Chain A
Amino acid sequence: MQCELDIFFLEAVLNGVLLAGLLALLALGLNLIFGVIDVVWICYAELVMIGMYGINYAYKAGAPFLAAALFGILLVALAGVLLHQLVIRPVLDSAPINQLLVTGGVLFVLQAAATVAFGIDFKTLGIRLGSLNVYDMSFSYSRILTFAVASAAMLLLWLFLSRSYVGIAIRAIAQDRQIMPLMGVDHRNIYLITSGIGGGLAGLAAVLMVVQYDIYPQIGLQFGPLIFMICVLGGLGSMIGGFIAAFLISEFIAVGGSCFATEWGYAIAFLFFMIVMFIRPQGLFGGKA
């Protein structure tokens, strides 16, 4: 254990901030879906995995990276719309446990399908961006880029939700579903748009992840539970809560990992999560328990 307030500690803190950008983006998509449709996409991380494979194959087929990235975003946005239309919609009025089971089922179907279709070997795009060295600290450019793009995407989404008619309708529907017809809003359209945006955010996360991580069918298991933990910690459905929780958890992982060992970082983060759950079961910013 070497936890001193030195430059490596600062490096760990800053790396935590960079990691938080990606986690906040992932949590945002899940919170948006839950806040508006009241359904948890258990298979959210698997949608990201599908996006990563899509980008991988498009890139290796010769598409420029930006085109492959756009393809990945649209692919997952479409997957989100299909998920809503084919899987969620029939169970919208069912008990929450049934909704969890169907999206949980999709998780296993996607994982199994990816294993059959793409094999179990690790795939990589082979893009290496190098790293930025400041004094004795080192930050990978892919993480910096990820943080910048994720922040820009969140800002754009915030502008959309606070300025546009559809964005305001998305927020309104999360507050009072029943009276939306009185406003002339067809909730089915809003659900589809929200699912598309939620999928698109997962697709963007996939773009940011393919430059940092290898792709394999079970990659969702690596960060899926982490995203759920962040969402629940922040208060499921609270976008601000998810954002702050992403920073908290990332710091526990990065600083804890730097002071002890990487695995300890995750353990400390989960311990913190459990303590908060005992004190505030509804999450830090959750309204409904």
Chain B
Amino acid sequence: MLELAGIDAGYSGFQALFGISMSVKAGEAVAVIGANGAGKTTLLRVISGLLPASEGTMTMDGVSLRETPPHKIIATGIAHVPEGRRLFPRLSVENNLKIGAYTPAARAKFVDRLGFVYELFPRLKERRAQLAGTLSGGEQQMCAIGRALMSGPKLVLFDEPSMGLAPVIVAQVFELVRRIRSQGYTVLIVEQNVRQVLKFADRFYLLEAGHIKASGSAEQMLASDDIRKAYMGL
């Protein structure tokens, strides 16, 4: 589904990603783990076009993402739940969801998808007229996920969905991600909370200082002493 080969990217005067090659197959849940500043968020920003790659190729179902303008990447079936949720605080919950269905193809299916999102997260339906900025952290994450689903994606990118949330809520948020997964969406998640992602991801990539240092199944990751020590404190 998603293929990256030799992707370099960075900010002015600072390279953050070096020759990243990875793939996500349809139906998989793939996690990218790594320390703070390893380039995890940058990787997702490159995939969804918020940051241009400087080298390499990147395709979604055969469509070259580097040749697609950023606002058209959503039409290839990629939706991005950004770091810190980034809801529009002074828009209602329902308008946040509506803006997620901005593309012409998504507008035609707005009513159906809104029903689907409300069924998935009944809490959002209760709060649909409320300003998104007044929601609790967990509800905001629901709204951010719902907004991403409104575009009718095949692949959902999650950037640190547990960040900034209370420990009790963190477990709930991972439950939400699991629920999305069980709905048949392909998931690419970036997370520091390795214990939690281990519970549901099929495959892992370990990112260190902008390089992919290891990859493999959950069992393979657990079998590696280095990874256990460095990222799980086991």
Contact = CB atoms under 8 A, between A and B. Distances in A.
Interface string B154-176: 00000000000000000000000
A180 B98 contact: no
A154 B88 CA distance: 23
Most A Cβ at <10 Å: residue of B90, B91, B99: B99
A94 B151 CA distance: 34
Contact of A168 (B70, B95, B106): B95
Nearest to B151: A184
A179 interface: yes
B86 interface: yes
B80 interface: yes
A178 B41 CA distance: 14
A106 B9 CA distance: 40
Contact of A175 (B72, B80, B91, B151): B91
B146 interface: no
Given A168-B98, A168-B99, A182 B90 contact: no
B210 interface: no
A130 interface: no
Most chain B Cβ neighbours within 10 Å, of A178, A182, A185: A182
Interface residues of B, number: 29
B100 interface: yes
A179 B107 contact: no
Contacts of B71: 180-181, 183-187
Contact of B107 (A165, A178, A182, A185): A165
A169 interface: yes
Interface of B: 48-50, 69-75, 79-80, 82, 86, 88-91, 95, 98-103, 106-107, 147, 151
B73 to A, nearest CB: 7
11 contacts: A171-B90, A172-B95, A176-B88, A179-B50, A180-B71, A181-B73, A182-B50, A184-B74, A184-B106, A185-B99, A186-B69
Contact of A165 (B48, B88, B98, B151): B98
Contacts of B49: 181
B168 to A, nearest CB: 27
Contact of B102 (A176, A179, A183): A183
Given A165-B102, A182-B48, A185-B102, A172 B91 contact: yes
B82 A175 contact: no
Interface string A99-137: 000000000000000000000000000000000000000
B88 A182 contact: no
A193 to B, nearest CB: 13
A185 B75 CA distance: 11
A168 B73 CA distance: 20
Contacts of B102: 165, 169, 183-185
Contacts of A169: 99, 102
B88 A181 contact: no
Given A181-B50, A184-B151, A175 B88 contact: yes
Top 10 A-B pairs ranked by shortest CB distance?
A: A181-B70, A184-B103, A184-B74, A186-B71, A181-B71, A175-B88, A172-B88, A182-B80, A184-B102, A179-B86
A180 B50 CA distance: 9
A173 to B, nearest CB: 9
Contacts of B91: 168, 171-172, 175
Nearest to A182: B80
B158 to A, nearest CB: 13
A172 B70 contact: no
A181 to B, nearest CB: 4
